[in-house]
Amino acid sequence: MNLLQFLETLLFYKTKKKKKMHLNYVCLIRQQIITHHELAQTASARLISSLFLKIDSTFR
């Protein structure tokens, strides 16, 4: 399982647990990660933590 698959799985369970499946939001985040990954060739821990902060605030 690569990083993108791991993040997608985590997002899926996080949103499912909150009873809100926002697939568009998940796809948007996935695209951000892919874009950043292509630019930097590595997904930085800082990017990932900021994305999860956004996810947490969105689903509260």
Per-residue model confidence as pLDDT tens digits over 11-35: 666 655 555 555 666 677 777 766 6
d(CA 45, CA 17): 24
Is pLDDT larger for residue 36 or for residue 5?
5
Is pLDDT larger for residue 43 or for residue 3?
3
d(CA 48, CA 20): 21
pTM above 0.75, yes or no: no
Q: Could you tell me the two tokens for 8?
A: 């997608």
Q: What is the pLDDT of residue 31?
A: 73
